[in-house]
Amino acid sequence: MPLRIVLAKIGLDGHDRGIKVVARALRDAGMHVIYAGLWQTPEAVVRTVLDEDADWLGLSLLSGAHMTLVPKLVALLRSAGLDHVRVLVGGIIPEADVAKLHAAGVAKVFGPGTPLDEIVTYLNQPGEAHHV
């Protein structure tokens, strides 16, 4: 079965160009992309991941709210019993925050200019198979 990934933007950030480009690249790489779109709350995103039984969650933030919203979301994921879901973050993330996001439980941060192939290769690496 193709890998299932939820892509979402949390908070009031209205810039969805980047996440749509990533969505297209993952689709073309044979993945099933569940596009949750703009203006999602952390609670709604966790619910989406749960209902969609996704393997991965990709978050895009360009608003600077990542240190407020992402750790909260990861904690909500864990408390919903979704420990197996791995979280990617993309967007404008200052270097100093990358380690903090990793410490909060984010698997990988992809900054601006990341080649799309790099994201696809990361998701397809051995050991990243579906949990079922």
Partner 1 sequence: MSEWFARFEQHDRQALSRILSFIAQGKHPPELIDFLAKPSDQPVRVIAFTGSGGVGKSSLVGQLLELARREGKKVAILACDPESPISGGALLGDRFRMNAGADDGVFIRSLAAASGQGALAEHLELMIGALRRFGFDLIFLETVGAGQSDVAVRVLADVVVLLVQPEAGDDLQWEKAGVFEVADVIVVHKADLPGAEKTAAQVRASLDLSKQSQVLVFRVSSYKREGLGDLWQHLLNKPPRSGSQGLYHKMRGQLETFVRNRLQALWRQPDTEFQALLESWRRSDLPDERILRKVLVRLAGRSE
**Contact positions toward partner 1, by CB under 8 A?**
1-2, 23-24, 26-37, 41, 43-44, 46-48, 50-53, 80-82, 132
CB 87 → partner 1: shortest distance, Å? 17
- Helix, strand, coil shares of the chain, percent, nearest 5, are 40, 25, 35
- Of residues 13 and 109, the one with the C-beta less far from partner 1: 13
DSSP 8-state secondary structure symbol assigned to residue 85: -
- Of residues 44 and 129, the one with the C-beta less far from partner 1: 44
CB 100 → partner 1: shortest distance, Å? 26
CB 36 → partner 1: shortest distance, Å? 6
Please check whether residue 45 is in contact with residue 8, taking contact to mean a CB–CB distance below 8 angstroms: yes
- Going by C-alpha positions, the residue among 38, 39, 18, 21 that lies closest to residue 29 is 21
- Of residues 77 and 93, the one with the C-beta less far from partner 1: 77
**Could you give the residue ranges of the DSSP H alpha helices within the chain?**
17-28, 42-52, 66-79, 95-103, 116-124
- Of residues 23 and 88, the one with the C-beta less far from partner 1: 23
